[in-house]
Amino acid sequence: QVQLVESGGGLVQPGGSLRLSCASSANIFSFNVMGWYRQAPGRERELVTTITRGGSTNYADSVKGRFTISRDTATNTLNLRMDSLKPEDTAVYYCYAKAALADYWGLGTQVTVSS
């Protein structure tokens, strides 16, 4: 069973930065796609960013130019660098991985942007 474990969330002031990490129990190149989703209170879970096995990236319009997805193959970790954070970025952030026969989710990490 694949496990994805997020870390790095917390409280940050508007304009600040955070770096989220997602540690995978499986080789990250076994997944077709990995990415980050988020869910704010009272809202549906939404796509933040994805990266394919080949390295192609996709970002939600709301985070383009502020967030950067990356991979560390040595540690099987997916990262999300978040800069210029806004209060509307407040949400639980989930790591996601799509394999050939199944999708996997982490339990999430809370990000709160507030002064």
Three-state secondary structure call for residue 89: helix
Per-residue buried b or exposed e for 55-67, using 16+ beta carbons within 10 Å of the residue's own CB:
eeeebeeebeeeb
15-74 pLDDT, tens digit per residue, is 999 999 999 999 999 999 999 999 999 999 999 999 999 999 999 999 999 999 999 999
67-99 pLDDT, tens digit per residue, is 999 999 999 999 999 999 999 999 999 999 999
The rounded distance, in Å, linking the Cα atoms of 74 and 37 is: 23
